Structure 1
Amino acid sequence: METVPGTAVLTPAAPAPAAPPAVPSVHVRAIITWLAIFPLVALGMMASAPLTEGWHPVFKALTLTLVVVPTAVYLVVPRMMRAHASLAGRRGGRS
């Protein structure tokens, strides 16, 4: 196939890559994290109170955080971040 000088060959343009989702501000992330941690700590304190009644407060905090932190980091906060992203997307991306 020969090309004639001065003619352009048109090829279909590749679709533009999708923009990555906007990361919420540090303030929004702090609020979301607090909203995840506070209820977990409150429920954990009430649930563990009968079992840890005579324990030193440091050991109570240790056992509570051993449960609350992984639960928040791996389960609750990611779900809340997805929910926030979904809501922010519906409102036009404001976060």
Structure 2
Amino acid sequence: MKEDTDKTIVEFNNEAARLYGHVFDQFENSVRNIERNNEENVFQMRVSKFSLELKKQLEQHVKKILESSDSKMNEQLQAALSVKVSYYLRQFMQKCSAM
């Protein structure tokens, strides 16, 4: 059962990395012409918008995984995947702040 959980987490990471890259590319395109010195509020609104979009997509993927997984694994999987979602959101925020 641990192997199934580990495999599911690896599969989630693969999809999460793809989603992260896609959402970050969209974010970069949306702020390309923004001058942060003059429009910090607009930049922060975009950060918020795209971080919420990433969170939504990651949580939808978690929900899909949990619906198709063995119910005995759900609690353990939910905890592990929740940590992963938080990780990707933190990385997104850090990368945005570094721009």
TM-score, normalised by the number of residues in structure 1: 0.43
Q: Which has the higher helix share?
A: 2
